[in-house]
Structure 1
Amino acid sequence: MKENETLKRRVLDLANRCYQQNIYTFSGFLNAAEVSDVYSMERELDFIPWKLFGGTEGCERQMLRFGSEETLGYEEEFPISCVVIRPSAPKFAEALSHRDFLGALMNLGIERDVLGDIIVRDSVGYVFCEDAIAAYLADNITQVRHTVMTTEVTKECPGQAAPQFLEEEFVVSSNRCDAIIAKAYKLSRTRSTELFHAGKIFVNGRQYDRNSGILKSGDIVSVRGFGKFVFRGFLQETKKGRIRVGIARYV
């Protein structure tokens, strides 16, 4: 609760500074729970335009911007860069994971809120970060585990870092949200329900605690510790009265 109150004060301070000084203001990168808290403040923030963005579509960690071209008379981009970290000799590179890249970054002693999502494709890391820290990361990340790396900084999101999806279909006994999540991640219904109660489920960026709720086509569902998918909708009812649904899993 104390953390929520601290975040709320920080968000309102950014909003008021934008409103009073007629300048864009930005937060650091917010995690999924903090993004959900921002959405819960919609009424308190209705006096000023705001937007969340993480560097590319579908990012979990996002930066909050107050202000718009309409209200301020000019456009200012989010101060987000992408540092591309790739093996200097791909043929001899280890199979590197998200944890490996995060560990190398944290070893530099930087704060987590200057870093956005870390996307890994074939042992290449795409690290979204604040502009101010990008050159430092590029200069100091020379190795991940035992693999020697090269780096480059770009303001454009590389195509390889854009969301990639695996389309799936499966049959569930109920159209409830907990049933779909249980099937998607091979969990028991009891375990699925526990995740709702623990605040681990987010739908369209908002924390979602209604395990009996019904998803809509296009909803983005994030399950902390398991992954994220786009709900494609209810496809058909089987002869036995069960329901076939589709999802697009982020990979």
Structure 2
Amino acid sequence: MDLVEAVYSGDAKQVTPFLTGAMLEWAERVLRKEHLSFMSEGGFPEAERVRILLGPWGEALNSKDADIALLWVRSLDSRAQLEHRQILGSLMALGFKRDVLGDIQAGLGGFYVASTTEIAPFIINQWTQAGREKIEVSLFSEKPIVNADQGEERRITVSSSRLDAVVANAFGTSRTAAQEWITQGKVRRDGVVVSKAETEVQPDNLISCRGYGRIKLLECSQTRKDRTAWQIVLFRSQRH
């Protein structure tokens, strides 16, 4: 709302930090009620984390004004396999907040990282290690070629549609482990951290488990043994 007021006050275009899916949905609902132009940009096609660019009503907006830099990071050891959590964890260790970083997507031999243009030079100069791996970081100016993430469609049966039951079955872990992930804040539903294991899930929910992958819930039905069958797409965390 401060950014909206800044536009009304004549400060021209404004841009938000990187937003999660839930925050993006809320922000867009608010902005639809305001007499403004706005668009979202994340640096990748169908990005999950995006910035919203807003300006006076009728003003043409350009995605370049979202001030997003794409960085390319790869291990100096060609035999090493970088992981998403290594990359994010090492960036957090540099003192960055999550809202200045967008999606982290795997490419051939490395990862693309979206960041604000403001912090990109610092990352390039100071970010030298991810986990135990020495890395090389550079600015990427071409169209990113990310690895296809088709996912694995499967059918699972659970005793109920509780979050912990679905997560445990989908990832092949124990119900206790799934509950620990939830308690530790590792599980999100449609971009929002869920803290209660008994939360009921619904068709079209996207469940993400940090470090393990994502689950897209398609449809559910009841079995003859009074259990719940879910058709899901499982996207496991990739290593590169």
Q: What is the TM-score normalised by the length of structure 2? A: 0.69
Please tell me the root mean square deviation across aligned C-alpha atoms, in Å.
4.0
Structure 1 residue corresponding to 2:207, chosen from 216, 221, 240: 221
> Which residue does the alignment assign to 1:17?
6
Q: CA deviation at 1:233?
A: 1.5
Higher fraction of helix: 1
Alignment of 1:141-220 (within 5 A): 141=127, 144=130, 145-147=132-134, 149=136, 151-154=138-141, 156-160=143-147, 163-185=149-171, 186-188=173-175, 192=179, 195=182, 201-206=187-192, 211-216=198-203, 218-220=204-206
> Which residue does the alignment assign to 2:58?
72
Q: Output the amino acid matched with 1:25.
A: Q
Unaligned runs of 5+ residues in structure 1 are: 1-11
Structure 2 residue corresponding to 1:124, chosen from 110, 122, 145: 110
Give the distance between the partners of 1:243 and 1:193, measured in 2 at CA.
23
38 and 209 in structure 1: CA distance in 2 versus 1, 3 angstrom threshold: farther
Q: CA deviation at 1:118?
A: 2.5
Is 1:247 aligned to residue 232 of structure 2?
yes
Q: CA deviation at 1:103?
A: 5.3
Unaligned runs of 5+ residues in structure 2 are: none
Give the distance between the partners of 1:114 and 1:19, measured in 2 at CA.
25
Q: CA deviation at 1:176?
A: 4.2
Q: What is the TM-score normalised by the length of structure 1? A: 0.67
Render the CA deviation track for 1:41-75: whole Å, top value 9, x for unaligned. Answer: 6775532565555333665544233348xx23302
Q: Output the amino acid matched with 1:131.
A: T
Alignment of 1:31-46 (within 5 A): 32=20, 36=22, 39=25, 45=31, 46=33
Give the distance between the partners of 1:227 and 1:220, measured in 2 at CA.
11
Moved more, 47-56 or 94-103: 47-56
> Which residue does the alignment assign to 1:55?
43
Percent of matched pairs sharing the same residue: 26
